[in-house]
Amino acid sequence: MSTQIVLIRHGETDWNVEGRIQGHLQIPLNRRGRAQAEALGTHLQGTRFDAVYSSDLLRALQTAQAIVRHSGHEIREDMRLREWDLGVLAGLRRTQAEHDQPRAARIRRDYLVDEPIPGGESIRQRFARVTAAVSDIAVRHRGECVLVVSHGGPIGDCYRRATGNRIEERMKIDLFNASINQVYIDSDDWSLASWAQIDHLAAIGSLPNWEGRSKNEDS
């Protein structure tokens, strides 16, 4: 019995717009991000979810809260759904990171998947914790439909797991703020159902990437 996982990337923050690295910092949604979250709630109010999970970071929680105002679901927080722990890079703009933390910036820029960011984690470590969390959710809700609100990096990890792309391969995929993305999980078998749905944001807009960076990178 497959579990349908509906993956939502959090709404926009000022730091998304400014190109600042968020990592595990607690950054709220900005005005457009709140509008995106409300649009998600309206769009999804006719969809039956058996459970709602969210990263415990503020930008994800605020997005999830806007959605469940329409459905009344309890939000189950899971720290494993957090964004990439970017350690010493958190709070910096990319140009500042290159100057102040060149080693850490190189790990991120050159996609060195097995090197942890100082004070943080590696891409492979993030992939392992995120896919383990989503797999656990799928087992807990076998045959059901579950909403999961997370971040660009973790949602990209789910895409990679569902499509069988090796973690060493760079991917160029859309990771829109407040987008709807769907995978099916049946035991160890993941498959992609749909990706980067943003019709509900037609009047609001959404950032697909960050100032020309490769679309699989995270903030």
What are the tens digits of pLDDT across the range 100-119?
999 999 999 999 999 999 99
- DSSP β-bridge partners for residue 75: 52
Q: Is position 10 annotated as part of the catalytic site?
A: yes
Give residue 192's pLDDT band: very low, low, confident or very high (50, 70, 90).
Answer: very high
- Name the catalytic one among 12, 24, 38, 83: 83
pLDDT reported for residue 70: 83
Q: Quick one: average pLDDT of 178-198?
A: 97
Q: Say how far apart CA 140 and CA 133 lie, in whole Å.
A: 11
User: For the domain with range 3-201, which CATH number is right: 3.40.50.300, 3.40.630.30, 3.40.50.1240, 1.10.260.40?
Assistant: 3.40.50.1240
Q: Quick one: average pLDDT of 1-13?
A: 97
Q: Is position 200 annotated as part of the catalytic site?
A: no
Q: Where are the alpha helices (DSSP H) in the chain?
A: 14-18, 31-44, 58-71, 94-100, 102-109, 123-140, 152-163
Q: Quick one: average pLDDT of 65-90?
A: 96
- Name the catalytic one among 10, 141, 151, 200: 10
All structural domains of the chain with their residue ranges: 3-201
